[in-house]
């Protein structure tokens, strides 16, 4: 079956530039080593994704890679990320417009220790509540995508057991920022809980709910 490939339109070309910049930022900020993470952004019913195994500093505007919501490639010739099923499942099920997936070190460490990140900081509210850990399944499988969807219920981010992080947002910047906040909270919890003889205080459900409310009104609006 011949696949229908077309050229990227203006919106897609702009979104690709932002996607490449975001992917490079995950490496520069130490959230990803090499090509071990992936980033995607939705433009209409097209999902632009980082290609599999290409270092982000080598990606050019000519490398636009995109699929439809069923996973059929409509833009480019590079093979999309192997973790595409997880990205598509999130777009099909939530209002997400952008997704960042990393193997950030502290978040991945926490994913091996607990089933939910303890509420160590009020920024938990920025992700919709305590961050769940999706059970392990091999990368790229529909099983992993299903686990991730359950872990994301009511949240904009989750951990993937023995694997990493996934966050989404209405923009690439928002999705990226949630990953950075999640990694930072995991680092705080690991640091606080590694002091011998002491265990960290945690926020109550009421405290988290109040923080969530305040965060919704935070910023320049
Ligand atoms: Zn991964």
Q: How many other C-beta atoms are found inside a 10 Å radius of the C-beta of residue 194? A: 9
Please tell me the predicted confidence (pLDDT) of residue 3. 60
pLDDT at 4 over 90: no
pLDDT at 178 over 90: yes
Q: How far is the CA of 49 from the centre of ligand 1 (A)?
A: 13
Residues 6+ apart with CB under 8 A from 202: 118, 119, 120
- For 10-216, CATH gives 3.40.225.10
Edge-to-edge strand order for the sheet containing 157-160? 73-75, 66-68, 46-49, 38-43, 98-102, 164-169, 157-160, 133-134
For the whole model, what pTM was predicted? Answer: 0.95
pLDDT at 201 over 60: yes
Average pLDDT over residues 87-104: 97
83 is catalytic: yes
Which residue(s) pair with 168 in the sheet? 99
CA distance linking residue 35 with residue 170, whole number of Å: 24
pLDDT at 219 over 80: no
Q: How many other C-beta atoms are found inside a 10 Å radius of the C-beta of residue 38? A: 26
Please tell me the predicted confidence (pLDDT) of residue 21. 97
Contact by Cβ (8 Å): 173, 26: no
CA distance linking residue 15 with residue 48, whole number of Å: 8
CA distance linking residue 151 with residue 21, whole number of Å: 28
Which tokens go with 42? Answer: 């939705």
Which residue(s) pair with 42 in the sheet? 47
Q: Where are the alpha helices (DSSP H) in 94-200?
A: 105-111, 142-151, 172-192
Which tens digit of pLDDT belongs to each residue from 9-46?
A: 999 999 999 999 999 999 999 999 888 899 999 999 99
How is the chain split into domains, by residue range? Answer: 10-216
Q: Where are the alpha helices (DSSP H) in 29-124?
A: 84-93, 105-111
pLDDT at 221 over 60: no
Q: What is the mean pLDDT of the chain?
A: 94
Q: How far is the CA of 11 from the centre of ligand 1 (A)?
A: 27
Q: How far is the CA of 217 from the centre of ligand 1 (A)?
A: 33
% residues pLDDT > 70 (the chain): 98
Which of 83, 183, 205, 210 does the annotation list as catalytic? Answer: 83
pLDDT confidence tier of residue 1, bands split at 50, 70 and 90: very low
Q: How far is the CA of 219 from the centre of ligand 1 (A)?
A: 31
Q: How far is the CA of 206 from the centre of ligand 1 (A)?
A: 33
């Amino acid at each position: 079956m011949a696949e229908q490939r077309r050229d990227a339109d203006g919106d897609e070309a702009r979104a690709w530039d932002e996607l490449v910049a975001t992917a490079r930022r995950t490496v520069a900020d130490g959230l990803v080593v090499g090509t071990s993470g992936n980033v995607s952004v939705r433009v209409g019913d097209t999902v632009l994704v980082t290609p599999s195994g290409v270092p982000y500093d080598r990606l050019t505007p000519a490398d636009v890679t995109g699929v439809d919501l069923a996973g059929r490639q409509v833009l480019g010739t590079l093979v999309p990320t192997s973790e595409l099923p997880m990205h598509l499942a999130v777009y099909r099920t939530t209002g997400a417009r952008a997704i960042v997936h990393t193997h950030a070190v502290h978040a991945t460490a926490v994913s091996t220790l607990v089933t939910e990140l303890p509420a160590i900081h009020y920024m938990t509210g920025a992700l919709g509540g305590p961050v769940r850990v999706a059970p392990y399944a091999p990368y790229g499988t529909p099983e992993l995508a299903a686990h991730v969807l359950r872990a994301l219920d009511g949240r904009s981010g989750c951990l993937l057991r023995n694997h990493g992080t996934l966050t989404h947002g209405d923009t690439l910047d928002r999705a990226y920022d949630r990953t950075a906040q999640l990694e930072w909270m995991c680092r705080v919890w690991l640091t606080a809980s590694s002091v011998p003889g002491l265990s960290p205080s945690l926020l109550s459900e009421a405290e988290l709910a109040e923080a969530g409310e305040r965060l919704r009104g935070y910023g320049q609006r």
